[in-house]
Amino acid sequence: MTDLIKAKLAERGLTLPQAAAPVAAYVPAVQAGGLLHISGQLPFEDGALMTGRLGEDRDLDYGVRAAERCALMLVAQIEKALGDLGRVKRIVKLGVFVNSAASFTDQPKVANGASEMMQHLFGDAGRHARSAVGVPVLPLGAAVEVDAIVEIA
């Protein structure tokens, strides 16, 4: 499964990033029963954090791309925690937080960047429940943050 996902990424000219280390007092992933809870992941592009506020100094396309990059970091954390992406049975839920101006209401469209990436990589097992929430600020000025709950074998 890991090779299949990496091949799907390569089709898009993407690779999995190295799983990011926590920036505060938490762990990146916790397994509880048959679920893996992944802490919120930030978007990195070409090694740089994607920052800014949607509807203020960043546009929708930037937000979608940032959400996609968060999804890649989630997959990297899943692989690090499990050692094998073949253990993923289902992406259960994504929580998407969008650094948004008060007038910006396209959080669901931004979140589609992460949702569509999971569906592309995991097929039907990538279809999930989701929250998409606008917030006034995110850690380190990130444009988007995404967390996940994953059912595992």
Q: Is the pLDDT of residue 122 over 90?
A: yes
The pTM score is 0.96
What confidence tens digit (pLDDT) does each residue in 87-118 have?
999 999 999 999 999 999 999 999 999 999 99
State how far Cα 143 lies from the chain centre.
Answer: 12
What confidence tens digit (pLDDT) does each residue in 3-17 have?
889 899 999 999 999
What confidence tens digit (pLDDT) does each residue in 123-132 have?
999 999 999 9
Confidence of residue 75 (pLDDT cuts 50, 70, 90): very high
